[in-house]
């Protein structure tokens, strides 16, 4: 197995971290450290040198206008297209990289319907996708009392939820926890073994998770692979490269992606390749077709994997089901200063054919709704059902 370097390509990390009932936040204004003149100068210098669009940043800036790192980033970045550059504390960075946080571990929509429950979080196995929260400890649910309950660590909360037209009470205790971001299973359809991989985030820690899952897929002699990245906002390029290795071992040593920096830093341009045969650990597949379940929340490293496969498998064999993806063809390497990490856009991500993802995202091969009335991985869930239909009919959308 290749050595993994943790090189973040964060896109919409806050989607998962802020929406899951007590997760960490990427809002740098919460940092206890003051944003002093020296740090403002450091950040400005990053914009004038390493930032991808450095030549469009003002050289004269009134630092007094900015009270927090994110305010300054928002004031200096080129928008459009840059909607991604951000700052986070060192602790937030470490928690994300190591898949650690605290709270309940679920995400919800505006009407408090759960759309995701983190794997192995306190809510996992208790609350489920599709549950609509009606009350928190006997009071009508609000964002405020839900957040307060999530932060009340080790104190049990009673949720009154609507599940399948019935109201039920469920107790969950928010705790510090480590979570998984991947889950796999094999189902049979028309004599075929079809692998399903739920993959929520490209963290460094996730590589060991999906290596084990791919060993199961390999032993099952699968013929089709479906990867669910509908909420995967990105993460480590190293993890993305390792996932590509597991998907296909047919291109040893060939280029997966190329990172293209600005004119000042062409010496930082770098290439990720498929692992050589002598590094193989035996669980790699040789897929001729891969189906991805995606939404607008599928970004960055998720799009990288899809794009990287197209020159090798062909556009028709890299299938996307759901909606167009987010549209983030760029990445960030990250720079630390005092107790903060700064992630400014640094480079374009290109596949071996030199192509980048469009800012409009990767269009869906088959349009399908994100059906939160069913669990992720349920064959009756609309996006997964569409993928199974596509396989059964050899290329027909529902």
Residue ranges per structural domain of the chain: 107-178, 182-330+346-392
pLDDT tens string 18-42:
335 544 333 333 445 799 999 999 9
Rounded average pLDDT over 337-344: 94
Name the pTM for this structure: 0.91
Is the pLDDT at 244 greater than 70? The verdict is yes
Residue 326 CA to residue 139 CA, distance in Å, equals: 36
Q: Which fold, 182-330+346-392?
A: 2-enoyl-CoA Hydratase; Chain A, domain 1 (3.90.226)
Characterize 250-279 residue by residue with b for buried, 16 or more Cβ atoms within 10 angstroms of its Cβ, and e for exposed.
Answer: ebbeebbbbbbbbeebeeeeeebbbbeeee
Of residues 284 and 19, more confidence is placed in 284
pLDDT tens string 351-391:
999 999 999 999 999 999 999 999 999 999 999 999 999 99
Strands (E), 6-130: 86-89, 100-103, 106-108, 114-117
What is the CATH class of 107-178? mainly beta
168: its two tokens: 């039920």
Q: What is the pLDDT of residue 72?
A: 98
The upper half-sphere exposure of residue 124, i.e. CA atoms within 13 Å in the direction of its Cβ, equals 15
| pLDDT averaged over every residue in the chain | 91
């Amino acid at each position: 197995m290749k050595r993994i370097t943790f090189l973040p390509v964060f896109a919409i990390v806050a989607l998962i971290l802020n929406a899951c009932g007590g997760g960490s936040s990427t809002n740098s204004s919460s940092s206890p450290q003051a944003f002093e003149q020296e740090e403002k100068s450091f950040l400005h210098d990053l914009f004038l040198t390493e930032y991808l669009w450095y030549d469009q940043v003002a050289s004269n800036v009134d630092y007094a206008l900015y009270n927090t790192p994110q305010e300054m980033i928002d004031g200096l970045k080129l928008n459009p297209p840059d909607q991604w550059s951000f700052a986070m504390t060192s602790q937030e960075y470490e928690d994300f990289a190591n898949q650690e946080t605290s709270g309940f571990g679920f995400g919800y929509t505006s009407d408090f319907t759960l759309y995701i429950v983190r794997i192995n979080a306190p809510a996992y196995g208790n609350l489920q996708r599709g549950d609509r929260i009606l009350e928190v400890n006997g009071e009508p649910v609000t964002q405020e009392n839900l957040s307060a309950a999530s932060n009340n660590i080790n104190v049990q909360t009673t949720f009154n939820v609507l599940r399948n037209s019935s109201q039920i009470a469920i107790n969950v205790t928010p705790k510090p926890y480590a979570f998984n971001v991947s889950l796999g299973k094999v189902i049979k359809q028309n004599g075929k073994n079809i692998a399903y991989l739920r993959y929520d985030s490209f963290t460094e820690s996730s590589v060991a998770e999906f290596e084990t899952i791919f060993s199961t897929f390999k032993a099952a002699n699968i013929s089709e692979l479906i990867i669910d990245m509908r909420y995967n906002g990105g993460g480590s390029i190293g993890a993305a490269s390792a996932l590509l290795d597991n998907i296909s071992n047919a291109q040893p040593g060939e280029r997966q992606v190329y990172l293209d920096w600005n004119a000042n830093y062409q010496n930082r341009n770098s290439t990720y390749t498929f692992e050589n045969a002598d590094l193989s650990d035996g669980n790699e597949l040789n897929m001729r077709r891969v189906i991805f379940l995606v939404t607008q929340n599928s970004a960055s490293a998720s799009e990288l994997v899809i794009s990287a496969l197209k020159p090798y498998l062909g556009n028709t064999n890299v299938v996307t089901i759901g909606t167009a993806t987010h549209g983030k063809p760029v990445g960030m390497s990250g720079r630390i200063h005092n107790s903060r990490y700064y992630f400014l856009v640094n480079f374009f991500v290109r596949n071996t054919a030199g192509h980048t993802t469009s800012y409009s995202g990767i269009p869906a091969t088959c349009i399908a709704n994100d059906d939160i009335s069913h669990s992720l991985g349920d064959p009756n869930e609309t996006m997964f059902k569409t993928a199974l239909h596509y396989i059964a009919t050899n290329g027909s959308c529902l």
